[in-house]
Amino acid sequence: MNASRARLVAAFREGFGLAAIAVIDGPDGIRIAAAAPGAEITCVPAETVRCRWWCPRAFEAASIATAVTARLHNRETGDGAALWACQAVVRGAKQRNVDLHSDEEILEKATAVIARIDDELERLRQSGDLRPVNKSYQSYRRDAAAKSERVVPYGQWMLGYKEELVRKLAATLRYL
């Protein structure tokens, strides 16, 4: 996935309010991590994400991660521990009636939203109705130049504009 697409998918997850839960394998063993919406789970170079899911509410992701971590300390290390931890996250979510979504599921939903926005922007461009957006960019350029600030190229600015549209559409879809 290219960097632009990755930014749009991240904007979708943020707008949808998805928190991450991951099982991470590293030199110190297995750990379970949770990250709030808009935040990424960070790993050191020697660590590998074994499994990752997306949860609709941050407090539930943190609760599941805490519960599995407490049980994980009583387990043996090794390959079996990673599998056990992945299964324990799924069981913990099921016990709390929390729907977990895989990376693939979220990517599919995000791709549909991004395509919808791309189609609408193209339709606006072809009909000449994208002028207000372009005028916003021109206004931004004038303001930045007046302040002697660096002006980002149109493509980069448009990516930020699309990120915001994706974020807003995802937030709207969250409550449907």
Whether the predicted pLDDT of 73 surpasses 90: no
pLDDT for res 75 = 65
Whether the predicted pLDDT of 159 surpasses 90: yes
Task: Give the whole-angstrom CA distance, residue 155 versus residue 161.
Answer: 10
**pTM of the shown model:** 0.86
* Tens-digit pLDDT profile for residues 10-65: 999 999 999 999 999 998 889 999 999 989 898 889 999 999 999 998 999 999 99
Whether the predicted pLDDT of 72 surpasses 90: no
Q: For residue 102, give the H/E element and its range.
A: strand 101-102
Helix (H, G, I), strand (E, B) or coil at 31: strand
The percentage of residues in the chain with a pLDDT greater than 70, rounded to a whole number, is 97
Task: Give the whole-angstrom CA distance, residue 44 versus residue 26.
Answer: 8
Q: What is the mean pLDDT of residues 84-107?
A: 95
Per-residue DSSP letter, 27: T
Q: Across the chain, what does the average pLDDT equal?
A: 92
